[in-house]
Amino acid sequence: MTTELETEVEPGKAAHANGSEDFVTMTISGQLFGIPVLSVQDVLGPQKITRIPLAPPEVAGALNLRGRIVTAIDVRSRLGLAPGNDSANNMSVVVDVDGELYSLMVDAVGEVLSMPADAYQPNPPTLDTAWRDVSAGIFQLDGQLLVVLDVNRLLASTERTAA
Amino acid sequence: MDDLLAEFLTETNESMDVLDVELVKLEQNPNDPELLGNIFRLVHTVKGTCGFLGLPRLEAVAHASENVLGRVREGLLEVSPYAISLVLQSLDQIKSICGELEQTEQEPAGDDSELIAELNVLAEGGAGAAAAPVEAAADPVEAEPDAAMADSGDDVSGNGAIDDGGGFPVAAELLAEYEEATGGQPNGAAVPAPEQAAPEPAAPEPAVGGVPGSLFERLGGQAAIDAVLGLLHEKILADASLAPLFEGIELDQFKLQHSIFFAQVFGGEANYDGPDLATIHAGLAAKGMTEAHFDAVAGYLKASLEGLGVAEAIVGEVLAIVGSTRDEVLKEVEPQAAVAKKPGKPKAAPVEAGPAKEKSVSAQSIRVNVDVLENLMTMVSELVLTRNQLMQIQRAHENSDDFAAPLQTLNHIVSELQEGVMQTRMQPIGNAWSKLPRIIRDLSLELGKKIDLQMLGQETELDRQVLELIRDPLTHMVRNSADHAIEDPPERRAAGKPETGVVTLNAFHEGGHIIIQVKDDGRGLAVEKIKDKILANELASEAELEGLSDSQIQQFIFKAGFSTAAKVTSVSGRGVGMDVVRTNIEKIGGTIELKSVEGKGTAFTIKIPLTLAIVSALIVECAGDRFAIPQISVLELVRSSHQSETRIEMVKDAPVLRLRERLLPLVSLREMLRLEGVSVAPQEATDETDESGTDESGTNESGANEGGVVEAVSDDSFIVVTQVGAHSFGIIVDRVFDTEEIVVKPVAPMLRDIQLFSGNTILGDGSVIMILDPNGIAAGNGEMSLSESALEEQKSVQSADAQERVAMLIFRAAGESPKAVPLALIARLEEFEIETIEHANTRAMVQYRGQLMPLVFFDESQSLRESGRQPVLVFTDNDRAMGLVVDEIVDIIEIELAINISSERVGTVGSAIIANKATDVIDAGYYLTKAFPDWFKNHGNEAFGDSSDRRVLLVDDSAFFRNMITPLLQVAGYDVTTADSATQALEMCEAGATFDIIISDIEMPGMSGFEFAEKIRSEGAWKEVPVVALSSHTAPKDLDRGREVGFTDYVGKFDRDALLQSISETLALGRGAA
């Protein structure tokens, strides 16, 4: 199953010649997160989501994206955060992992930032384990920190939880 | 992977599959040259391609088996089971190498020399046995000995080629050496035949006493020969007129062949077994080598020899030998076509031209990656869904006429596109069977049995995906049949069966499904043995088994834990139980049935959907969420409420429903899915209940009250009666919506562990919905115990055996006493608003489906209701319909027939005790004529053509059935005569009555239907008259028996459509044949 949007480039490998990398930023509970731009397929506004009973708690449900069924992941729940109070206006970032589409539900989606590779820092050892699992590292921005999400791990560990 | 390699693997795997089948066929028809040719060609292609890709190990194996096949093709080797086994073994080797090649992209290391040696021995042994002189010289490793070559020896002598060489000083011993080597025979020469000469090569040299060493030695040994050949080749290549001849020829190999030839021939190697010059040069001749060319080459050879300072006499000898081959080399030019076809060298003609027919076929088909098709399929599915959405929108805005026409067009195009794309996924089921002949063959050799595998309906097409999934279960079943079911020849003889057991595979389409039968005439399932195993594996207690019928005990083979093998996930080989087969078939929404008669054989019937891509599903709602349930597993729908008789009762915590005297276990979808939230009260009436309820199985009250407003009671719920395997259960849901065609999509990997869902899909309105898996639900509820439901099943089976059961519709009309009519006669149950009933010419009418339908009353005392809705039983026949006004529809009951016939009152057949009440069974025929006096006349002609002149004899002991079926047949325009027993019918026969068709009951006192059919088939005037069996239970067992004794067809008693169809088809057939 492929769509015209699928790229041959592996997520996270979109390094520019000058050593910088582009990230789509998003916020959950005020925290800034980033996903490599090339792994992002779509950015969606609030969607009609079908609940999936018996699914792991972080699976919010499934939605129809132009005829494809996309599994919606509640990133909040995945990161062990309390449910947001304005879930009606949630936005989502759709990523493609091994041909399957997942919609990561976040509070808001921001801009695309180009980050120099040398601004990259490994996870601090004190980081919450749930976060450490899914964080590929941290970028220091002016005034705030950008946590880079490792989409594969984010979803893979979900599977483990489910199993 | 390398594209070339991938292509090769695909192609080789395909070839191997074909070869398996063809070789087994060849074994059965050893004299079919076309078959052999095809096999040879395939092996050869594989070999050629291996060589091309540099896969020496594969090439060697393929080559050795090609050799054997070559021998067979020449008629030098008999097709023996041993030969076929050996070749098959080499194919297996090739497959296994290919398997590893696919994994590693490297040809695996390994030693095939043993196999190759065996093949070579076989090839050579065949040559020896054939005792043709030249074959001894043929090469088991390299050449394709062909007919032309076989003649070569004779040609040499016949043409006097040796004498031609006489211009040179030919030494007698040299000639003798040559003769020996090539096996040629000079005219009248006293040289012994090579097979005699071989053991004593030097003995019969006639002329010269002391041989001064062989020519080989005199020339200066191998080094000198190589030098000469090197020179010669240089010269040849330098010659522009010769160069084209050598194009495409691997010179090194060519040179090597020459070198070996010269070394051995000159060296006096008596039994030289390499290719002779003619063979080596065959490719050249095919390219148009002429005498001039040959002479030129000979000239170069002479020059080369002289250039190396070889003595003149020796040069002469060499040239004589070479010259002697001149004619045979050049002779090749004529039968060029034949030569071109025979691959003299692997490189020269690696691919042979197949028959022209095949070529044109291959030109019309292309290989397409499955992914491309899958993607296309997905797209089309989306297109279908989008179209559905558009149509919905259009319906909502009815005034937007502008869109109607293009939408209609779009609709058509999309439908056709969908069909077309589906077609691309269809493959003949024969593809899944291709391995079976081989398996059967190997098994029969291994087990010493004689087994004939018959495959019918191989061209039946089904979805690729389904095909893949059905392949293993089928293989397993066929293997089982051959392994366990078919007896040894002695055992079969003792049982009075032919020695050769027959395993039959049959596939055909039936109503959107594919039916596959796997049948054998083996020993059948031994009930006692199964019982022992059941007890040993503690699947049931002895007491439980006591109550089970034989066929129910046989069903245990499908039960998990029956097979001694541990649960295996994929059907891979022996020791895997039938439970896995059943599971796999059910996984794709199929069913499997078994019937087996001990000593007679076993038959499995598998029913699978044509495609998995689009299924019909029932949309239900539970706790505000919608779910889809595949329609194939839905038996019926029941609405339950506290008020109605059908209500959910609890046994401890287990909900159950009384459904037609049985307790149906229920599961709550809400609980299973752990859905919280308030039950949403149904907002509106849904009459889906009618669609899958009443029509099919004639069910419940709520179905009968179709159209009645469903009260919005919150504790109302619907029960989806679902069947999984042999047992059924009910799923409690809040609401039932429509059925919808859905495209099943797999769920995301992280959700695959949830057993309850088999997939998800997008509905016409664009929302995502989860598809429930009834198998998963059953499994999720622990074992929906087989024995429990089996016992229930058994009860009904037993009573059905004891007495025929009929579904009767009970109603009240004209008086308090209940009346009944066979449900099968009624087309629909309707309720009409009183206001819609019109009166014309003192008769009540109602507009129904675009026509005026007359309403008939039972008697004058009956009247329509004052207000509200009037229940009516609708009888239809083609284009006309009649409504019988009733006061109340009471129930539908399956009863055992115990009718006391009374013909005192018009309009009744008699009365019966139904539900402990005396009930009048009405004569529908009487009321039909009341509505349309001509109901049984004339119009039948229009509908059924010239059926009115068709005379039908109906033989049935039950007056009730005679009365029920006669009007049916009369309606259809047949001239019906009845007989109440087989004996009476036979009397008619003797009296000279003639009929076009006989319809006979099976269960009759005295002479049964089977005996009756047998009797009239064996003798008398009715020998040719088709006989249709009529029975209340159409068990496949009866069906077979019926066919055996000569029934033309077999129909259920209550299936009026099937009966009429069968009659008209049978008659049409008879007419066609006559």
Q: Specify the CATH number for the domain of residue B380.
A: 1.10.287
- In tens, the pLDDT along B426-470 reads 888 888 888 888 888 888 888 888 888 888 888 888 887 788 888
Residue B451 has phi, psi (to 5 degrees) of -130, 130
Last residue of a domain, one of B297, B323, B341: B341
Q: Flag whether pLDDT at B273 surpasses 70.
A: no
pLDDT at B132: 36
What's the pLDDT score for residue B581?
Answer: 81
B403 and B466 co-located in one domain: no
pLDDT exceeds cutoff 90 at B81: no
CA distance A100 to chain B (A): 7
Chain B residues inside the 8 Å CB shell of A55: 750-751, 754
Query: What's the whole-number mean pLDDT along residues B319-326?
Result: 65
User: How distant is the Cα of A153 from the closest Cα of chain B, in angstroms?
Assistant: 13
Quote the pLDDT of residue A81: 83
pLDDT of residue B788: 40
Q: What average pLDDT does the structure give for chain B?
A: 70
Res. B697: pLDDT tops 80: no
| Least confidently predicted of A90-99, A106-115, B22-31, B254-263 | B254-263
Inter-helix orientation angle B172-182/B251-266, to 10° = 120
What domain count does chain B have? 7
Contact B716, B680 (CB under 8 A): no
Q: Is B1069 a member of any domain? A: yes
Place of tokens 């000159």: B266
Please, which residues have CB within 8 angstroms of residue B591's CB and are 6 or more apart in sequence? Answer: B585, B606, B607, B725
Boundary of a domain, candidates B878, B898, B931: B931
Residue B963 pLDDT > 50 = yes
A43-57, B19-33, B652-666: range with highest mean pLDDT: A43-57
- Read off the tokens for B392: 């919905």
B770·A2 Cβ contact <8 A: no
Inter-chain residue contact A69 with B749, CB threshold 8 Å: no
Cβ-Cβ pairs closer than 8 A, A with B, add up to: 71
B1035 band by pLDDT with thresholds 50, 70 and 90:
low
Sequence-distant (6+) residues with CB within 8 A of B759 are: B744, B745, B746, B747, B771
In a domain, B393, yes or no: yes
* Distances in whole angstroms, Cα of residue B965 to Cα of each of A28, B938, B954, B968: 75, 19, 8, 5
pLDDT for A26 equals: 92
Q: Is A155 on the interface with B (CB under 8 A)?
A: yes
Q: Which residues of chain A are within 8 Å of residue B760 when distances are taken between CB atoms?
A: 62, 69
B733 plus B811 within the same structural domain: no
For residues B304 and B315, give the distance between their C-alpha atoms in angstroms, rounded to a whole number.
Answer: 10
**Judgement on whether residues B463 and B539 belong to the same structural domain of the protein:** yes
Task: Tell me which of A45-49, B307-311, B404-408, B925-929 is least confident.
Answer: B307-311
Winning range, highest mean pLDDT, from B328-337, B791-800, B814-823: B814-823
> B612, B466 in Cβ contact below 8 A?
yes
pLDDT of residue B875: 78
Minimal-distance CA residue of chain A relative to B624: A51
Average pLDDT over residues B316-329: 64
Residue A112 sits at the chain B interface (C-beta within 8 Å): no
Residues B196 and B265 in one domain: yes
Choose the most confident range, by mean pLDDT, from B242-246, B278-282, B887-891: B887-891
**Which residue, B458, B441, B437, B463, is CA-closest to B450?**
B441
Query: Taking CA atoms, what residue in B is nearest to A100?
Result: B748
**pLDDT greater than 50 at residue B141:** no
The kind and range of the H/E element at B470 are: helix B464-480
| B508 part of a folded domain | yes
Residues in chain A: 163
Does the distance separating the beta carbons of A162 and B750 come in below 8 Å? yes
Whether A62 sits inside 8 A of B745 (CB atoms) is no
Q: Do A54 and B760 touch (CB under 8 A)?
A: no
**Buried-exposed string B694-709: b where 16+ CB fall within 10 A, e elsewhere:** beebbbbbbbbbbeee
Contact list in B for residue A62 (CB cut-off 8 A) is 748, 760, 768, 770
The pLDDT assigned to B612 comes to 67
Phi, psi values for residue B473, rounded to 5°: -55, -40
Neighbours of A15 (CB within 10 A): 12
The 8 Å CB, 24+ separation contacts for B579-585 are B580/B473, B580/B476, B581/B473, B581/B476, B581/B477, B582/B558, B582/B725, B584/B469, B584/B470, B584/B472, B584/B473, B585/B470, B585/B473
Predicted local confidence at residue A13, as pLDDT:
45
The residues that bridge with A93 in the sheet, in sequence order, are A43, A104
Domain CATH for B83: 1.20.120.160
Q: Is B770 a residue whose pLDDT tops 80?
A: yes
Q: Which two tokens stand for residue B190?
A: 């006293």
Average pLDDT over residues B778-791: 51
Residue B23 lies in a domain: yes
Q: Do B751 and A55 touch (CB under 8 A)?
A: yes
CATH number of the domain bearing residue B601: 3.30.565.10
A3: closest chain B residue by CA: B375
Q: Is the pLDDT of residue B269 over 70?
A: no
- For residue B179, is pLDDT > 70? no
Q: What is the pLDDT of residue B113?
A: 83
Q: Is residue B136 part of a domain?
A: no
B621/chain A closest Cα distance in angstroms: 13
Q: Is B151 or B20 the better-scoring residue by pLDDT?
A: B20
Residue B938 confidence (pLDDT) above 70: no
User: Can you give the CATH number for the domain in which B277 is found?
Assistant: 1.10.490.10
Cross-chain CB nearest to B768 (options A53, A62, A98)? A62
What pLDDT is recorded for position A157? 58
The string of pLDDT tens digits covering residues B830-860 is 888 887 888 777 778 888 777 788 888 877 7
Nearest CA in chain B to A50: B768
- B762 and B894 share a domain? no
Query: What confidence score (pLDDT) does residue B190 get?
Result: 42
Q: Which is more confidently placed, B38 or B1073?
A: B38
Helices (H), B397-427: 401-425
Q: Which residue, chain included where needed, has tokens 């037993």?
A: B798
Q: Is residue B376 part of a domain?
A: yes
Query: Is there a contact between B749 and A63 if contact means CB atoms under 8 Å apart?
Result: no
CATH of residue B1035 = 3.40.50.2300
pLDDT category at B619 given cuts 50, 70, 90 is very high
Contact A1 B378 (CB under 8 A): yes
For residue B375, give the nearest of A1, A102, A155 by CB distance. Answer: A1
Predicted confidence (pLDDT) at residue B178 exceeds the cutoff of 80:
no
At residue B204, does pLDDT exceed 50? Answer: no
**Greater model confidence, B595 or B316:** B595
Q: What is the pLDDT of residues B983-1014, one digit of tens each?
A: 888 888 877 778 888 888 877 777 788 888 88
The minimal CB distance from A67 to the residues B382, B754, B769 is found for: B382
Residues of chain A in contact with residue B671, where contact means CB-CB under 8 angstroms, are: none
Q: Could you say which DSSP state residue B599 is in?
A: T
Nearest by Cα to B49 from B103, B107, B88, B96: B107
pLDDT digits (tens, 9 = 90+) for B90-138: 888 888 888 888 887 777 777 788 888 888 888 777 544 433 333 333 3
**SS3 call for B1071:** helix
Residue B820 maps to which CATH number? 2.40.50.180
- HSE at residue B276, side-chain half, CA atoms within 13 A, is 31
Is B873 strand, coil or helix? strand
Q: Which residues of B touch A66 (CB under 8 A)?
A: 382
Interface of B with A (CB under 8 A): 374-375, 378, 381-382, 385-386, 625-626, 673-675, 745, 748-751, 753-754, 756-757, 760-762, 766-770
Residue among B386, B750, B757 minimizing CB distance to A158: B750
CA B101 from centre of chain: 30
Higher pLDDT pick, B525 / B287: B525
Per-residue pLDDT averaged across B735-757, rounded? Answer: 81
Instruction: Report the candidate in B1026, B613, B593, B1060 with the shortest Cα–Cα distance to residue B824.
Output: B1060
**What pLDDT score was predicted for residue B42?**
83
In a domain, B347, yes or no: no
How far are the Cα atoms of B388, B589, B632, B772 from residue B617, in angstroms, in the given order?
A: 16, 12, 8, 10
Q: Tell me the pLDDT of chain A (163 aa) as tens digits.
A: 434 443 334 444 444 556 778 899 999 888 899 999 988 988 988 888 888 888 888 888 999 887 788 999 988 888 888 877 766 678 899 998 888 899 999 988 998 988 887 777 888 888 888 788 888 888 888 888 889 988 888 887 554 444 3
Interface test with B, best of A2, A6, A52 (most B CBs within 10 A): A52
Could you tell me if B508 and B477 lie in one domain?
yes
Residue in A2, A54, A59, A152 to test binding to B, most B beta-carbons within 10 Å? A54
> Which of residues B295, B325, B341 is at a domain's end?
B341
- Band of residue B591 on the pLDDT scale cut at 50, 70, 90: confident
Residue B375: list chain A partners with CB under 8 A: 1-2
* Shortest CA gap B777–chain A (Å): 13
Which tens digit of pLDDT belongs to each residue from B345-385?
Answer: 444 333 444 444 444 444 567 778 878 887 887 788 778 77
B1003 and B1058 inside one domain: yes
- Are B976 and B969 in contact by the 8 Å Cβ rule? The answer is yes
Side-chain half-sphere of B555: how many Cα atoms within 13 Å? 19
How far, in Å, are B830, B856, B888 from residue B810 at the CA level? 15, 17, 9
The verdict on B381 and B336 lying in the same domain is no
Domain of residue B969 covers 939-1073
Same domain, yes or no: B109 and B240: no
CB contact under 8 A, A53 and B748: no
Confidence of residue B949 (pLDDT cuts 50, 70, 90): low
Q: Which among A50, A55, A102 is the nearest to B768, CB-wise?
A: A50
Return the DSSP state at B720. Answer: E
Of residues A2, A54, A159, nearest to B749 (C-beta): A159
| Closest Cα in chain B to A48 | B767
Are residues B811 and B779 part of one domain? no
Indicate whether B1033 and B1063 sit together in one domain. Answer: yes
In a shared domain, residues B560 and B650: no
User: Strand, helix or coil at A150?
Assistant: coil
Determine the residue of chain B that is closest to A65 in CA distance: B766
Mean pLDDT score, B274-302: 62
pLDDT at B925 over 60: yes
Domains observed in chain A: 20-162 (2.40.50.180)
Closest Cα in chain A, distance from residue B363 (Å): 29
| Chain A environment of B626 (Cβ under 8 Å) | 50
Chain B residue numbers touching A52 (CB-CB < 8 A): 751, 754, 757, 770
Asked, for residue B356, whether it belongs to a domain, the answer is no
CA angle (B731 as vertex; B730, B736 as ends), nearest 5? 115
